[in-house]
């Protein structure tokens, strides 16, 4: 199952989804499954609205993370409107079963990312470089085996 995710940076912070699940506390980049007949960029726009409450413009594919043979496409995005934290996706308004855990949209200082459990972790250096306006010319490719 392919996933599309987004990297939204504002000042010195990045948008994340804080998760508590199965006794674990971790953070993920916003995003989700690409639906049938949907492009990765369409999925990013939909997921940003569902999870963050924001309208975004996908600017550039910056990374592809392969997780158990399934690609996850991460896009640099620009915010164009909406209200952060007002996501109405089923996970954000408590419609998922309790065993799925909790979801909360937050801003996290980029300098703190290495001290917390961020998934996928290989994207942390990319986000740190982006804080200084440096994005890769071509999408970076990573393999990840430590996501939940």
pLDDT, tens digit, 9 for 90 and up, residues 99-114: 999 999 999 999 999 9
Report the helix count and the strand count for the chain, using DSSP H and E.
Answer: 2, 10
Strands (E), the chain: 3-7, 9-10, 13-21, 24-28, 31-33, 54-67, 70-82, 102-109, 118-119, 140-144
Q: Are 140 and 124 in contact (CB under 8 A)?
A: no
Supply the CATH number for residue 85's domain: 3.90.79.10
Q: According to the model, what pLDDT value does residue 108 have?
A: 98
- Give the chain's domain count: 1
Structure tokens at 34: 């690409």
Quote the domain boundaries for residue 31.
3-144
> Model's pTM, two decimal places?
0.95
């Amino acid at each position: 199952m392919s996933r599309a995710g987004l990297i939204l940076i504002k000042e010195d912070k990045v948008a994340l989804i804080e998760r508590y699940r199965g006794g674990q506390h971790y953070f993920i980049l916003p995003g989700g499954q690409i639906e049938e007949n949907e492009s990765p960029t369409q999925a990013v726009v939909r997921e940003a609205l569902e999870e963050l409450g924001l309208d975004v413009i996908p600017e550039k594919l910056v990374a592809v993370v392969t997780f158990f043979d399934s690609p996850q496409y991460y896009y640099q995005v620009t915010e164009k409107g909406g209200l952060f934290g007002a996501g109405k996706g089923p996970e954000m308004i408590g419609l998922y079963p309790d065993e799925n855990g909790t979801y909360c949209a937050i801003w996290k200082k980029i300098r703190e990312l290495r001290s917390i459990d961020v998934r996928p972790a290989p994207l942390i250096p990319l986000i740190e470089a982006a804080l200084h306006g440096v994005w890769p010319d071509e999408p970076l490719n990573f393999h990840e085996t430590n996501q939940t």
